[in-house]
Chains A and B, each alone.
Chain A
Amino acid sequence: MTDTDIEAQVTEWRAYMLRRKAISEADVDELEDHLRERVGDLTAAGLKPDEAFLIAVKRMGRMDELSREFAREHSDRLWKQLVLDPDRDAAADAERRRGLLVMIVCAALGVVAIKAPALFGLGFDDSGDFYARNMGLLVLAPLAVYFAWRRRLGTGSIAAVAVLFAVGAVANNAYPLDADSQSVVLSAIHLPLMLWFVVGIAYAGGEWRSGRRRMDFIRFSGEWFIYLVLIGLGGGVLTGFTAGVFGAIGVDAEVFVSEWLVPCGLAAAVVVAAWLVEAKQSVIENMAPVLTRVFTPLFAVTLVAVLVAIGVTTNAIDVERDMLILFDLLLAVVLGLVLYSISARDAEAKPGVFDWMQLALVVSALLIDVLVLVAILGRITEWGFTPNKSAALGENLVLFANLAWTAWLYVSIIRRRKRFAQLEDWQTNYMPVYAAWAAVVVLLFPPLFSFA
């Protein structure tokens, strides 16, 4: 065997390695250098080049094992690995079929869950109060089952997830809340939030303490939301046509649409979207980070413009009732932009223009929020606490604390005092705070405010 044969074999080996999605091109370069060194050593020891190549490849270990070890360290890359891998083997094929089956069963479970109350006279259309309270519970429980099943969750984790769902369900329905009280609305918003984090436990396969798994869950949440919106858009078109076409032939489809198509479609879509995120990863190749790239500069410019406008006009922010909610949402959007840019950023890359932009975005959002907080605190000292105001204020503080430290970390990263991984750690370590706050609002607020 000649040197050109070796070259051809190394090229082939490279191509094969590159197909492993957990191993990047730079890693393959590094491994190729390693391979060639070993071939060199072995030929120097008297082996023929082709024998040396075989032994060197063999010594490098089975490709699957090597790629699994790389995947363990680089789970962000593994994320891009799609289940529909071109060189999938039989095991992956079986796993994919199993995933499909689990998805179908759980989506059906969701449909049953959302229609079961109708058996007790709680129609989807005319029991708005019941559904507003329990919607999150009914659609997220099947999703938790889906992940518990897919990840082959241990009994301990299954028990934890089940107990947390049960606690949410009981608190939400056992508290004597009026249909038009503030607490009912707050629970309707916060229960799904709390349960989403419980789903996260199942998603992480019980390893919810791992920062890596948490980051994966953040990525998953963004992609899941995008898929759900896309399915929702398609569903809207389908609903419109169903109503219109049946109307044209004189059949009233309204009851079918509002009692069956919409609720069942929604319940199934929650599970289907989760399945799609994992099965079709490369089809929309991480949409959330792409959107982040587009909107970070736009949001940064807008917020800076608001600050300039406040400075020039010296107009105080008009603190209306809804204003705090608006600024909570603003902070949440800014946090989302930060999170998704973090989730897609290469932790080893050097700080660049985009990091400056993130810093500008975060700092301007914080400055605006400080103005709002000052105004709100004035109002609260004057009028006292209500459930709505307390929840909104709490959220604001939770997000503010996160973003303030994030801003500080960005400054340190840009000045190269800190590493990007520390920002990642900060965000993943902070996640339980959101879950805890949502739980406080659902479980403690109603008794605290005497079910107002």
Chain B
Amino acid sequence: MHIAKDLVAASATPLVLGILAEEESYGYAILKEIAERSGGRLEWTEGLLYPLLHRLERLGHVESTWRTPEGGRRRKYYAITEDGRRELAEQRRQWAAVTDALQDIWETTRTLGPAAPRAMEA
């Protein structure tokens, strides 16, 4: 299934903040997590993820630290800040409003939409 670009962009910030709210993480792991959570339907590119992480850092929603695990590679970890948690809560409220409205509309169209054309054909 292909998800429209606008929708991917709009949901990007709450997804990343949501994942980081659970625990700190790094780029590749976030990307995998998103693919997993969406059952592979959300395929992000690196060109979306990293600039987004840098933007969130500039806005103060996340903090980054470089760490080198024992015998491993240097890796940049991101953690959510208090500001970021507030932003996440705000985004959550907004998304809830949108999904509620959509849910309501889906309910109505399920009863009316698909049935109506057939009735007219008959």
Contacts and interface: CB of A to CB of B under 8 A. Distances in A.
Interface of A: 26-27, 29-31, 33-34, 36-38, 59-61, 65-66, 68-70, 72-74, 347-348, 419, 421
Nearest to A69: B47
A74 B54 contact: yes
B76 interface: yes
A53 to B, nearest CB: 15
A33 B58 contact: no
B74 A348 contact: no
Given A30-B76, A33-B76, A38-B28, A72 B60 contact: no
B50 A27 contact: yes
14 contacts: A26-B66, A33-B75, A33-B76, A34-B46, A36-B73, A61-B45, A61-B46, A66-B47, A69-B51, A70-B51, A73-B58, A419-B58, A419-B60, A421-B59
From B46, B50, B60, B76, name the one whose CB has the most chain A CB atoms within 10 angstroms: B46
A69 B5 CA distance: 14
Given A73-B51, A73-B54, A421-B58, A33 B45 contact: no
Contacts of A65: 45, 47
A76 to B, nearest CB: 10
B57 interface: yes
B14 interface: no
Interface of A is mostly: helix
Q: Using C-beta atoms within 8 Å of the partner chain, give the interface range for chain B.
A: 20 to 34
Contacts of A421: 58-60
Interface of B is mostly: helix
Nearest to A63: B47
A29 B51 contact: no
A29 B27 contact: no
A34 B27 contact: yes
Interface string B51-70: 11011011110000010000
B102 interface: no
B96 interface: no
Nearest to B60: A419
B76 A347 contact: no
B113 to A, nearest CB: 38
A30 B74 CA distance: 8
B51 A31 contact: no
Contact of B55 (A31, A73, A419): A73
B73 A72 contact: no
Nearest to A40: B28
B98 interface: no
B74 A33 contact: yes
Interface in B87-101: none
A136 to B, nearest CB: 36
Given A33-B27, A34-B46, A421-B58, 12 more contacts: A29-B74, A30-B50, A31-B46, A33-B74, A60-B45, A68-B47, A69-B48, A70-B47, A73-B54, A74-B54, A421-B59, A421-B60
